[in-house]
Copies of this chain bind each other. A is one copy, B any other.
Amino acid sequence: MSGSGALRTGLPGLLFDLDGTLVDSVYQHVLAWQEALAEEGIDLSVWRIHRRIGMSGGLFVRALAREVGKQISPELAERLQQLHGEGVARRLSEIRPLPGARELLRHLSAIGVPWAIATSGRAGTARRIVDLLGVPEGTVVITRDEVPYAKPNPDLFLAAAGRLGRDPRDCFVVGDSVWDMLAARRASSLGIGLLSGGYGREELTAAGTYRVYDDPADLLAHLDELGIRALEGS
């Protein structure tokens, strides 16, 4: 890590969340969680699950437990996460990359901007979703399994910046949920919010987002607003 302060000028890196940010998979995650919880006799409204998506699975289960006023043992938490993973796998055929996601990543690579993916999901599920993006071999993908704590802790983004060899202050974090934005701030990165995960613009703004765009296509069309340009033109 250099502390070179690329955000002040230069060429920042981009750290992407996965679900709702690059891939249109939030609603499948939500319904898979609802199904997993119902299977264990826990009835929870869909919107409450949506509002927690993007958190670490452990925190997520604990937060939901609090909302339903139930004790959740570590064994049950593990079982719920297992059921959720299976539910997402069953819905994989419904899941598509978000508009502009592949083009954005290809463009960043083409102009020499370093980027990585950092997700609260576990490696098994995350890998299958990353595959939908057709990213090149060697893409940096940090999953839940590789860090002590997931979002809203900053670990995932810190690890991703480290793997890119950059100071997190020289990286933008791109995400769709308030948990991404909160984790970004703890990592000292600036947060770019995307509406494509279903959160409202005002919620993301209230979480300290630097800029908000519709989806990856909209971000790609406005990269100049972030001072991101081809190296030769910098």
Chain A interfacial positions (CB closer than 8 Å to B):
20, 24, 26-27, 30-31, 43, 45-47, 50, 94, 96, 98-99, 195-203, 206, 215
Residues of B with C-beta under 8 A to A94: 31
Measured CA separation A196–B51 after assembly (Å): 11
Are B27 and A27 in touch, CB under 8 angstroms? yes
Could you say which of B24, B202, B206 contacts A45, with CB atoms under 8 Å apart? B24
Q: Which residues of B contact A30 (CB under 8 A)?
A: 27
- Indicate if the CB atoms of A206 and B202 lie closer than 8 Å: yes
The reply to whether B198 and A46 form a contact with Cβ atoms under 8 Å apart is: yes
A45 and B199 contact, Cβ closer than 8 Å, known pairs A27-B30, A30-B27, A31-B27:
no
Docked pose: A57 CA to B10 CA in angstroms: 48
Copy tally for this chain in the complex stands at: 2
Cβ of A172 to closest chain B Cβ, rounded Å: 21
Residue of B nearest to A26 (CB): B46
Pick the contact of A203: B43, B45, B46, B202 (CB < 8 A).
Answer: B202
Top 9 nearest A-B pairs by Cβ distance? A202-B202, A200-B200, A47-B198, A200-B203, A27-B46, A24-B45, A47-B196, A50-B198, A24-B46
Pick the residue among B98, B198, B215 that contacts A198 (CB under 8 A): B198
11 further contact pairs, Cβ within 8 A, besides A20-B47, A45-B196: A24-B45, A26-B47, A27-B27, A27-B30, A27-B46, A27-B50, A31-B31, A45-B215, A47-B195, A198-B198, A200-B200
Closest-by-CB residue of B relative to A25 is B46
Smallest Cβ-Cβ distance to A217: which chain B residue:
B45
Report the separation of the CA atoms of residues A206 and B206 in the bound assembly, to the nearest whole angstrom: 14
Across-interface contacts of A202 in B (CB, < 8 A): 200, 202-203, 206
How many angstroms between the C-alpha atoms of A146 and B197 in the bound complex? 35
- Which residues of chain B have C-beta atoms less than 8 A from A24's C-beta? 45-47
The listed residue (B31, B50, B96, B195) touching A43 by CB distance below 8 A is B96
B residues less than 8 Å from A43 (CB atoms) = 96, 99
Could you say which residues of chain B place their CB within 8 Å of the CB of A99? 43, 45
